[in-house]
Amino acid sequence: MPKFYYFNYRRFIHMLRKNSDVHAMIVEQIKDVEKCLINFENFMRAATTPETVPETLRALCEGVMEAENAADVSLRAMIDSLSAGAYLPSTREDLIAIAASCDKIANKCETVAKMIVQQRFACPAEYAEDLMEIFNITKNQFEILEECISMLFSKMNALQQDPAKLDAIRALESQVDRIEDKLTEAIFAGNTQLAEKMQASEIIRQLGDISDRIEDIADKIQIMVIARKA
């Protein structure tokens, strides 16, 4: 193997470990996104419970919005830190892309919560379990994603040699797709008005998009580690 490839890889690992402040900021930003998901979970549980009053949903939506704003703030701080760090331009670009994509997970949680509140969406009882299953699978995806991002700073070799964790994220996204397709078919086979069908299917699509975004980040991570394989 040419020596310059080996040198670049070793230099890359050295920079990741040396710039521990950037690592800490990325972890903080990911934790803020995780907090948004936790708030969104509380919101979704309320949204799929018939007895929930609009005021409660609105308050829970505010919690999602506040967490999304916190994720925005930590993302900007991380980008500022990266700009001053000793990273190669390609590494800086990849890390920013991954962090920015994680921030879009929080953005999508906010979007879904606001849609449900603003459109006064009343979740049909027969769909509640499947909606929560979509979220639970998505939460599982994000937990694996967190681990993969952490491995970029400590165990990149493991990700290079065995992409099983990244493949697991993709497999879970496929599960979400199947549930989403089943729900959409059931909605349009029902007897409700077309406008209600369109509203429900769009909210389900937006909810499923969170899983899609996590899968996209897994792809970015795999491209990043392959490009730096020793």
pLDDT tens-digit readout, 172-217:
999 999 999 999 999 999 899 999 999 999 999 999 999 999 999 9
Q: Who wins on pLDDT, 92 or 180?
A: 180
Indicate the average pLDDT of the chain.
87
Q: What backbone phi and psi angles, to 5 degrees, belong to 51?
A: -80, -10
Tell me how far apart the alpha carbons of residues 184 and 204 are, in angstroms, rounded to a whole number: 8
Tell me how far apart the alpha carbons of residues 223 and 32 are, in angstroms, rounded to a whole number: 25
- In the chain, the amino acid numbered 41 is E
Look up the CATH architecture of domain 3-227.
Up-down Bundle (1.20)
Tell me how far apart the alpha carbons of residues 212 and 131 are, in angstroms, rounded to a whole number: 15
Tell me how far apart the alpha carbons of residues 119 and 202 are, in angstroms, rounded to a whole number: 12
pTM: 0.85
Tell me how far apart the alpha carbons of residues 104 and 119 are, in angstroms, rounded to a whole number: 22
141 CB-near residues (< 8 Å, 6+ apart): 169, 172, 173, 211, 214, 215
Q: What backbone phi and psi angles, to 5 degrees, belong to 23?
A: -55, -45
The mean per-residue pLDDT over the stretch 1-16 comes to 43
The structure tokens listed for 134 are 């979509």
Give one word for 76, left, alpha or beta, with left for phi > 0 and alpha for psi -120 to 50: alpha
3-state per-residue secondary structure call for 95-106: HHHHHHHHHHHH
229 CB-near residues (< 8 Å, 6+ apart): 9, 160
% of the chain at pLDDT higher than 90: 62
